[in-house]
Amino acid sequence: MSFKFADLFAGIGGFHAALTKHGGKSVFVSEIDQSARNVYARNWLQGDEASISGDITKLTSGNVGVATHNVLTGGFPCQPFSKSGSQRGVAEARGTLFYDILRIVETKKPELILLENVRNLIGPKHIADYKVMIRLIRELGYVVSDEPTILSPHEIPEHLGGSPQHRQRVFIGAVRMNTKNASRFDDISPLLPRNPFSEFGPIDWNLAQFLEEHASKSSISLPGQELSVDQKRSLKVWNEFVKLNLINNGEKLPGLPLWTEYWKPRNQIRLAKDMPDWKKNFIERNSEFYLQNRKWIDPWIEEANLEDLIPSYRKFEWQAQGYRDIYKCLIQFRPSGIRVKAPNYVPTFVAMAQTPILGWEKRALSVSEAKALQGFSKSFKFGDQRDNLSFKQIGNAVHVGVASTVFQALLKRARQLEQPWAVKLKIENAQLEQLPVPKP
């Protein structure tokens, strides 16, 4: 038995990939960005499937121009409410994109709602807005937890769709009941506990092995992936530093960022009065580290010609735990300096402005590898568009495996609540018994 879903703020189709895997059929798609729409259509819209609508606000101002569906999904942009707490129902969200979601829910009454957003949605800046969102969904007759479901791909076993990327995202999952019944579950638990598979022990990701198995080799070593001359030189210089530290100290590098501009005696460093305490602490610790090791650091500085490197390449942060060789690690060239991490999982893809460097390959991550880390299959195509645009779209997408896991958790919750539609639905590729969904 298939189900129908509407995909809002669809991007390149992370939710589409997840839900079609479980037998879902797309009946409505909305995405305002034309390049993302092109990629979505190329990969997902075949035959009689839904076409892609643009600006969702034009479809919700009067009669809602959205097909009837069972499941509503959306990786919605977060906009603050100007009238939070005014208790005016759906109209309270007017002027925000969340209002358009609520208008569709109010009119089409989907059985399940699954929304995704960045971790900051429940941070200090947006927490009040988040609470209003939950209340407004609940007022429409849906069971939804006050506590969000927070999940990252690297927390999910590979056989359930996980991948080696640290990417915490907030999910709001709601089950349609009715206003009277929904109010009985105001204190319901989140769909999944934090780090839901931790009882089986930490997942030991091997990034190189994962990419070998899931990325297309045809895209490796394309123009744009090679390191610049300055990047190569800076890595060589800092790798020598790592080795010298091991020889002279016999221990791992300090965990703080190393700022070479402050490698001098403390009395030669002037600190501004309004400088934050955390920065003062880092500077003082850098001076202390230098003074303790200047016997071998000074010759290294002279040999390395650090002044020839751009300022950000003169800063270095070691987060690679027990590793002792840059070229066996994951590297980021950041405005704040060169960061080296253990080769287990990559940091969050945002817009890929700081594409990770695979030290063992001495090159940047490819588009094929990035899409694999975001849960998309080898057959997913971006066409002939620029790589930087593809990286941006990958960074904005919902992770396919995470979306699949949370959708199944939402369905399992609906069955726990004995929602008739969910009880009858038989989904494909189900792994519900492996999901630790808390009891209501």
Residue 238: Cβ within 10 Å count: 24
Residue 181: Cβ within 10 Å count: 15
Tokens 């598979």 belong to 197
Backbone dihedral angles phi then psi of residue 317, each to the nearest 5 degrees:
-135, 120
Strand-pair category, 357-358 with 330-334: antiparallel
- The CB-side HSE value for 137 (13 A sphere, CA atoms) comes to 27
Q: Let me know if 329 is a catalytic residue.
A: no
Kindly give the interhelix angle for 400-416 and 14-21, rounded to the nearest 10 degrees: 50
DSSP string, 150-212: EE-GGGS-GGGT--SB---EEEEEEEE--HHHHGGGTTPPPSS-SSTTGGG------HHHHHH
Q: Are 404 and 161 in contact (CB under 8 A)?
A: yes
Rounded distance, CA 433 to CA 189, Å? Answer: 18
Residue 58: Cβ within 10 Å count: 12
Q: What is the total residue count of the chain?
A: 440
| Tokens encoding 202 | 């930490």
Name residues whose C-beta falls within 8 Å of residue 248's C-beta, 6 or more positions apart in sequence: 293, 295, 296
Catalytic residue of the set 45, 64, 67, 78: 78
Element (H, E) at 249: helix 229-249
Q: Are 115 and 169 in contact (CB under 8 A)?
A: no
Tokens 């800046």 belong to 125
Rounded distance, CA 150 to CA 383, Å? Answer: 33
Tokens 């190329």 belong to 42
Q: Are 32 and 8 in contact (CB under 8 A)?
A: no
Name residues whose C-beta falls within 8 Å of residue 70's C-beta, 6 or more positions apart in sequence: 3, 4, 5, 110, 111, 112, 421
Q: Which residues are catalytic?
A: 78
